[in-house]
Amino acid sequence: MQEYFIGIDGGGTSCRAAVADAEGRILGRGRSGASNILTDPDTALRHIEEAARLAFRDAGLAEDLSAASALLGVAGNNVGDAVSYVLARLPFARAEIVSDGLIALQGALGDADGAIAIVGTGTIFIVRHQGRIHYLGGWGFQVGDLGGGARLGHAALQESLLAHDGIRPGSALTKRILDEFGHDPKMVVDFARAARPGDFGRHAPTVVAFAAEGDPTALRLMRDAASQVDEALDAAARIDGGTGRLCLLGGLAEVYSAYLADRHRDRLAPPLADALTGAVELAVKTLRTGAP
């Protein structure tokens, strides 16, 4: 009997699945809604199953999930209780949950050593060196994620208040942001008090756009953020000697490729494949009967 392997890339806005044969050839794909196992595990379970069924249907296969093996990459997977809850309720024969970073790494690098920097709302750096995985950063907005879109948007709000008070020179960027808040600092404060990382992050594209126009404040914020990413990439290079493939992933990847230090830009390479492909590869490698 043919053995099927499902890779799943579960995120806060959508859940993507792909089904492959034992050689890792992708036969079909499916997509459903949000699958945040931490904040809403039951909805996540429903969407994981739905995406998997759609992938089987897309492949022209009977939707027999109970005979398949699945590997899920999910955001914030280091939340033990949520992982246990979801693992116990998945409709597959065998299943494993790993971090979304790990499937992204596998997709980008295949089985080779190297490093990825995921620069989106947050930031995390992952190195594979002689088969071992090293994580750097990724501790979230409040005390980490330096260089991420949320921190960048937050910095822009802070600069706007400093410009409002005449403490630092304003620019077209700070004027634009103050315009959005009716030039009332209290509105900025109220926004910030209730804002989640994604809310701060929605101001990052404004910084990126003004920096591209040469706005001095936006350029300073971009360079500060890029130098924080440079520092993390330096630390990654200390682990693996800076020899392997280096891939930038995430919503700010293209932006940062222009701001990073030359020593890192010279190493940049496009990812071999996406995270979903990485999930499929890991599913076949780790869940195949008799796999090590």
Residue ranges in contact with its own copies by CB under 8 A: 78, 135-137, 139-140, 142-144, 146, 154, 157-158, 161-162, 165-168, 185-186, 188-189, 192-193, 231-232, 234-235, 238-239
Helix axes 149-164 and 204-212, enclosed angle (nearest 10) = 70
The distance of closest approach from Cβ of residue 165 to its own copies in the complex, given in angstroms and rounded to an integer, is 4
Q: Determine the Cα–Cα distance for residues 15 and 30; give it in Å rounded to an integer.
A: 8
The distance of closest approach from Cβ of residue 231 to its own copies in the complex, given in angstroms and rounded to an integer, is 5
Chain-centre distance of CA 36, in angstroms?
Answer: 13
DSSP track, 5-29: EEEEEE-SS-EEEEEE-TT--EEEE
Of 120 and 185, which CB lies nearer to its own copies in the complex structure? 185
Of 122 and 271, which CB lies nearer to its own copies in the complex structure? 122
Of 227 and 286, which CB lies nearer to its own copies in the complex structure? 227
Q: Determine the Cα–Cα distance for residues 141 and 231; give it in Å rounded to an integer.
A: 18
Of 142 and 289, which CB lies nearer to its own copies in the complex structure? 142
Of 38, 27, 97, the C-alpha closest to 63 is 27
Cβ neighbours, 10 Å, residue 200: 23
Of 56 and 200, which CB lies nearer to its own copies in the complex structure? 200
Q: Both tokens of residue 119?
A: 């620069």
Helix axes 41-58 and 80-89, enclosed angle (nearest 10) = 50
Of 170 and 205, which CB lies nearer to its own copies in the complex structure? 170
The distance of closest approach from Cβ of residue 22 to its own copies in the complex, given in angstroms and rounded to an integer, is 37
Could you tell me if 121 and 197 are in contact, meaning their C-beta atoms sit under 8 angstroms apart? yes
Q: Determine the Cα–Cα distance for residues 17 and 51; give it in Å rounded to an integer.
A: 5
The distance of closest approach from Cβ of residue 188 to its own copies in the complex, given in angstroms and rounded to an integer, is 6
The distance of closest approach from Cβ of residue 143 to its own copies in the complex, given in angstroms and rounded to an integer, is 4
The distance of closest approach from Cβ of residue 195 to its own copies in the complex, given in angstroms and rounded to an integer, is 8
